[in-house]
Amino acid sequence: MITFDDFKKVELKVGEIKTVEDIPGADKIYKVTVDLGGEERTLVAGIRQSYPEREKLIGKKVAVVTNLEPRAMRGVTSQGMILVASTPDKSSVVILTLDKDIPNGSTIS
């Protein structure tokens, strides 16, 4: 359990996926660029096995954690995290998307 004050520290924003690239030698992750409304960020996302057709991800509006400490994975520095839902065994991963259009960078609460 975390306190509500701890939860309020998590910064969630709407991002639009602009590019999706393979990372050499990685079979589970993509290098993703998201537009956060005036700012673009590079993220590493573990969605490759559930979304093998990268081009279908372009333009999706997603929920992004934007205040995570940057983390290097496979030579790429990830500057946030795309939120997903997954089965308990992680065999199925689904990106959390928005059901209506809202500007990139909008706050999620």
pLDDT tens for 23-56 read 999 999 999 999 999 999 999 999 999 999 999 9
Residue 5 counted as domain residue: no
Domain count, the chain: 1
| Single pTM value for the model | 0.92
% of the chain beyond a pLDDT of 70: 100
Residue 71 counted as domain residue: yes
CA 37 to chain CA centroid, Å, is 15
Residue 15 counted as domain residue: yes
The string over 36-56, giving b where at least 16 C-beta atoms fall within 10 Å of a residue's C-beta and e elsewhere, is: beeeebbbbbbbbeebeebee
Q: Is the pLDDT of residue 92 over 90?
A: no
Residue 28 counted as domain residue: yes
Residue 27 counted as domain residue: yes
Residue 90 has what pLDDT?
A: 83
Residue 6 binned pLDDT confidence (cut-offs 50, 70, 90): very high
Residue 45 counted as domain residue: yes
Q: Which domain holds residue 62?
A: 11-100
Residue 56 counted as domain residue: yes
Q: What is the mean pLDDT of the chain?
A: 96
CATH (domain of 60): 2.40.50.140
